[in-house]
Amino acid sequence: MTVLDEAPAPVADAPAQPLHPRVVALWRIGALLWWAFLTAAAVVATFIFEKSPWLALPVAIIGAAWVIVVPPFQYRHFRYRMSDVDLRIMHGWLWRSVSVVMHSRIQHVDTHQGPVERMLGLATVVAYTAGSVGARVAIPGLAASEADVLRERLAAVSGTDDGV
């Protein structure tokens, strides 16, 4: 008999949950602002170095393509799952990442909303754990009411076994 044979059976996980579809608009707005800044910086650089402003056109084209193409891929590849023992966050379409946070490690949970998130009715749930690496895990793009429910559920399950 091996150690694996003695291990308890894994807890049945709930299905992975997608983000709210409006998060695509949120990510597009954020990407648009960054690419607009980069395009403006490229135009300014062409004037500083006395080059044609048309040299900034590739930056604008790449930015437009990014704003159109990348957010839907991010949305399709971002899921979260809350089971009886942990919170899992799976994301990434080029570089995939899975974060597993045990409920017993969660110290506190917040919700955040920026102005654009408020306008779109979205919020971000952030769970904080002890430690320095990975001490903050976030689930962006949830409907505000869903974020409140998830925050309260995480707070309830994380506060059940205080080690002090």
List pLDDT tens digits, range 104-133: 999 999 999 999 999 999 999 999 998 777
Helices (H), ranges, the chain: 3-6, 23-48, 57-76, 115-120, 144-158
Give the whole-angstrom CA distance, residue 78 versus residue 96.
9
Lowest mean pLDDT among 11-20, 50-59, 62-71, 145-154: 11-20
> How many CB atoms within 10 Å of residue 141?
26
- Domains of the chain, residue spans: 23-73, 80-158
Residue 4 clears pLDDT 70, i.e. is over it: no
Helices (H), ranges, 49-86: 57-76
The three-class DSSP label of residue 11 is coil
Give the whole-angstrom CA distance, residue 148 versus residue 81.
16
- Cα maximum dimension of the chain: 76
Residue 82 clears pLDDT 50, i.e. is over it: yes
DSSP single-letter state for residue 72: H
Domain 80-158 has CATH 2.30.29: yes
